[in-house]
Chain A
Amino acid sequence: MIEIIGLTKTYDSVKAVDDVTLTVESGTITVIVGTSGSGKTTLLRMVNRLEEPTSGEVRINGASTQAVAPHILRRRIGYVIQGNGLFPHHTVARNIAAVPNLLNWPRDRIAARVDELLDLFSLDPDQYRDRYPADLSGGQQQRVGVARALASRPDLMLMDEPFGALDPIIRARAQDDLRRIQRKLGSTILLVTHDMEEAIRLADRIAVMDGGRLVQYDAPARIIAHPATGFVADMVGDVERPLRLLSLIPVSEVVTDGSADGAAISAEASLRDALSACLWTGRTAVPVERDGVRIGQVTLDAIRARAEFRA
């Protein structure tokens, strides 16, 4: 559990972060959303003490971050930044092994961990271990950057706009990968982005920041349905609210008996995808399948019912 308590950072009497308090449960993703200058990155960097707080405290699993030297603290916290920050003169394996090396892990344990992580990120170890970052695509570099941050099984992972440099298609895939790996490993992640879409896609809880203050800290569905301020509503976007709500709900929640015609949709897909399929092919219901077997259908009425605002 990560507790951020009354955290404040002042630069020349300007409060970049103003008395922020929030708690991140272990094994969840919390996404901090805000415009540039909202203090979201400063807040993140105070957690691993790349910035020292002016006042306030951060506790990781009950222990204050001030109890140890900053570089010791940072070795326990994964850190991923935009543009990945891989070391261009080190191979993929050596990049991933960076923190285990700092922690003096034995050599064979490091090698095994590197291969395990490459497998986890769908990069064949034999093929990628000895390559240099410049030999990889942007998406692969980004995956290696996340693998490096996970290498020493950190208590917490901080990610600062980790997908900012990727093009939209690769970004969507990277987000899905992150979600999958986070569920599998049970990692605790604090992620900063300016993109509400990304926040809704990834977050268990969203923290919206504006002018250094935390204006709302809630589950994505509640951020969409009940924005605390006009700023939050603007971030969500009025027009897109029903669609964003639908994007949070898996098809499996509203599947009913019946056998609609046409191409099927996966039970793991969101209602937004189902709506899109209905509208595009002019159908009022779409068959649903799981692992290639049809398990029922999802109807346009059912989708509409879930998209309506219920106060």
Chain B
Amino acid sequence: MRVPWHRAFSAPGVLFAGLGFAALLAPFMTIAANRIVAGDGIRAWDMAPDYATWPGLAAVLVGLLLGLPERLALVRLGGAVQGLCGLVLLLSIGGPALLEGAGTNARVSPALGFWCLLGIFLLLVADALVRMAPGPPARAGLLALAVGALAAVLGSGVLSDLSVLQEYASRREAFLAAAWRHLGLAFGSLALAAVIGFPLGILCHRAANLRAATLPVLSFLQTIPSLAMFGLMIPVLSWVGRTVPGAEAAGIAGIGFAPAFLALVLYALLPIVGNTVAGLAATPPAAREAARGMGMTPGQRLWRVELPLGLPVILTGLRIVLVQNIGLAVIAGLIGGGGFGTFVFQGLNQTATDLILLGALPTVALALTAALFMDILVDLTRPAQEARHD
């Protein structure tokens, strides 16, 4: 059967191809005299001699065109991956070429054109994957592959001329410490909030009075602006550190890890308690009535019926918290809590954009990976009967 020509093209593919060609006209990289001043934008084909840039340019252009056919999701996926490879190739060619003879302090960075194309290809990947609808195990494999590819590109050193990686090279130790601290803040606060939040959610599910009292308080905490929350922790915890015996020795003080950690826990409680309550309430009323009528004790109803049926909703709460905490933990840098926020705020003070990016980019990557990972987990726990009818 012939497909009408306008149906043969993927609508997002057409849009992204148009935007992608326009983005190629924008500066692909910038070169600046040092790490502080603004740089000059250079188009992709002006970065180096033609023979050096054309493989990368061709990969990007063909990648955009491969995004067009509506019915061939695998081709669209392949095109997008090829485009991403082209972008990396262009960066690796452009970096050394632009730096040559530009002085020892000169810095090169990706510019508007690169970021737009990166976004476009990532969206093309997402669109193709949505169409292909891979199962949770396949998605886990793809996620591992993507993380592995990113690590390989960064580890290989082909991009080490980029300014943001130069910032990294000069503070390798600090970056590693910040990464661990960031993970500790995000996952540690998630764990503590879960330990408090799950039992609280179960109690709220059981007792309407407690629910009516608890959820508004947690909602109120959620409305406190994050900067204010971290700020408020300073006097509270410095008072605790001064007055409670042993607290200071345990590292509890107005600034540092403890106030940041506590603020994140408070933010995490509403999604965890709220989703636990919603998940437990999602049990079909007839199933709950049948469970009671057949002689299950309240504990048996919780473990055998309500928790398994509510698990996808409860895990969705954890997903919200994890992504939210990875983002919010940046602000911990402001009150000496460490983490990637340290670089963001140092960069802001020094007006060094690439130092800001050194804090921001890993945060974004971490949040994205966590979100995709949790999505896979949620899908795995969805009752089998739903998955079959999707």
Contact = CB atoms under 8 A, between A and B. Distances in A.
A62 B389 CA distance: 49
* Of B291, B294, B300, B383, most A-chain CB atoms within 10 Å: B294
26 contacts: A48-B293, A50-B292, A50-B293, A74-B293, A74-B294, A75-B294, A75-B295, A76-B295, A79-B290, A79-B294, A81-B290, A81-B293, A85-B286, A86-B287, A87-B291, A87-B305, A87-B309, A88-B287, A88-B309, A88-B386, A89-B308, A98-B294, A102-B295, A102-B296, A132-B383, A135-B388
Interface of B: 284, 286-297, 300, 304-305, 308-309, 383-386, 388-389
Given A132-B385, A134-B386, A73 B295 contact: yes
A87 B309 CA distance: 9
Interface of A: 48, 50, 70-76, 79, 81-89, 98-99, 102, 132-135, 145, 148-149, 158
A186 B293 CA distance: 22
Nearest to B297: A71
Nearest to A102: B295
A133 B289 CA distance: 17
Contacts of A73: 295
A70 B293 CA distance: 9
Contacts of A89: 308-309, 383-385
B290 A133 contact: no
A74 B296 CA distance: 8
Contacts of B297: 71
B179 to A, nearest CB: 38
B295 A83 contact: no
B284 A72 contact: no
Contacts of A84: 286, 290
Given A71-B295, A85-B286, 14 more contacts: A70-B295, A71-B296, A79-B294, A81-B289, A81-B290, A85-B284, A87-B304, A89-B384, A89-B385, A102-B296, A132-B384, A132-B385, A132-B388, A134-B386
B294 A99 contact: yes
A181 to B, nearest CB: 19
Given A81-B289, A89-B383, A134 B295 contact: no
Nearest to A95: B290
* Of B287, B295, B386, most A-chain CB atoms within 10 Å: B295
A83 B286 contact: yes
Contact of B300 (A85, A102, A158): A102
B295 A99 contact: yes
Contacts of A70: 295
Contacts of A148: 294
A102 B301 CA distance: 11
Contacts of B305: 87
Contact of A72 (B287, B295, B304): B295
B385 to A, nearest CB: 4
B295 A85 contact: no
A252 to B, nearest CB: 39
Given A132-B388, A134-B388, A87 B293 contact: no
Contacts of B291: 85, 87
Nearest to A73: B295
Contacts of A82: 286
A102 B304 CA distance: 11
A85 B284 CA distance: 8
Contacts of A135: 385, 388
B292 A134 contact: no
A41 B305 CA distance: 24
B386 A79 contact: no
A76 B385 CA distance: 30
